Chain A
Amino acid sequence: ETGVTQTPRHLVMGMTNKKSLKCEQHLGHNAMYWYKQSAKKPLELMFVYSLEERVENNSVPSRFSPECPNSSHLFLHLHTLQPEDSALYLCASSQDSKRSAYNEQFFGPGTRLTVL
């Protein structure tokens, strides 16, 4: 595997289910991101793990819970979601440094989530 991979590619779940999205990066990066892509809206950054700090968008509901056990893996745990949470969830990674003037983000193919 190369680049950034995401599983599953498609997920359909009910509002009472608990599921997890997985992201893995094979690029040796030290930062990982979760984005939500809804129709006709800008990509919304949900969570960042970068330089050992976690940053979250305060508008993200608590029914989304990230986990980053190491620099190569990132999870997004989902529970009691709502239909409006249906979207494409994109994972990205980058090589980040407080001294670096530039860090390109590499994206995974996304997980298409449908909440019934």
Chain B
Amino acid sequence: AQTVTQSQPEMSVQEAETVTLSCTYDTSESDYYLFWYKQPPSRQMILVIRQEAYKQQNATENRFSVNFQKAAKSFSLKISDSQLGDAAMYFCAYRRGFGGSQGNLIFGKGTKLSVKP
């Protein structure tokens, strides 16, 4: 069975600095997708960034980028120029290749990120 591990329950970063959140996963599949979701205190979960396993290039979305190491099964999230609005719970998630019942997300326990002004 697939598992997702986030080893950092809490992280803190100074405003305008860079922080990296760790995520590792375990799977025997070759075709899958990885996601980082953000859940602010308002509780609405939103997608931050996604990565297709077949792509070697790391995904980027503005200040958010990932370091995807497929062989190591590692998928870390880097937040550059941290802003106060980045404070939230961040969840790493894994999904198998296709839809239907195979498309279910498997989440890690989350990392609570605090941003200091």
Given the contacts A105-B105, A109-B42, A50 and B100 also touching, CB distance less than 8 Å: yes
Beta-carbon contact of A48 and B98 below 8 Å: no
Which residues of B have CB within 8 Å of A31?
A: 99, 103
Beta-carbon contact of B109 and A45 below 8 Å: no
Interface residues of B in 72-117 (CB under 8 A from A): 91, 97-101, 103-110
Beta-carbon contact of B4 and A42 below 8 Å: yes
Tally chain B residues at the interface, Cβ within 8 Å: 26
- Say which residue of A50, A90, A99, A100 sits within 8 Å of B101 (CB atoms): A50
Which residues of B have CB within 8 Å of A45?
A: 104-106
Asked if A53 is at the interface of the complex by the 8 Å CB criterion, the answer is: yes
Beta-carbon contact of A42 and B50 below 8 Å: no
Tally chain A residues at the interface, Cβ within 8 Å: 31
Asked if B16 is at the interface of the complex by the 8 Å CB criterion, the answer is: no
Asked if B33 is at the interface of the complex by the 8 Å CB criterion, the answer is: yes
Beta-carbon contact of A50 and B103 below 8 Å: yes
Distance in angstroms from B40 CB to nearest chain A CB is: 11
Beta-carbon contact of A107 and B45 below 8 Å: yes
A18 CA / B45 CA spacing, docked (Å): 27
Beta-carbon contact of A53 and B100 below 8 Å: yes
Beta-carbon contact of B98 and A98 below 8 Å: yes
Beta-carbon contact of A88 and B99 below 8 Å: no
Distance in angstroms from B22 CB to nearest chain A CB is: 15
Which residues of B have CB within 8 Å of A108?
A: 44
A92 CA / B47 CA spacing, docked (Å): 12
Asked if A104 is at the interface of the complex by the 8 Å CB criterion, the answer is: yes
Which residues of B have CB within 8 Å of A106?
A: 47
Given the contacts A98-B99, A103-B99, A110-B43, A42 and B104 also touching, CB distance less than 8 Å: no
Which residues of B have CB within 8 Å of A51?
A: 99-100
Which residues of B have CB within 8 Å of A90?
A: 45
Given the contacts A43-B91, A90-B45, A104-B47, A96 and B105 also touching, CB distance less than 8 Å: no
A-B contact pairs, 16 of them (CB 8 A): A42-B91, A42-B106, A43-B105, A48-B101, A50-B103, A51-B99, A55-B101, A94-B103, A100-B98, A101-B97, A101-B98, A103-B103, A104-B50, A107-B44, A109-B43, A110-B44
Residues of B that sit less than 8 Å from A by CB:
4, 9, 33, 37, 42-47, 50, 52, 91, 97-101, 103-110
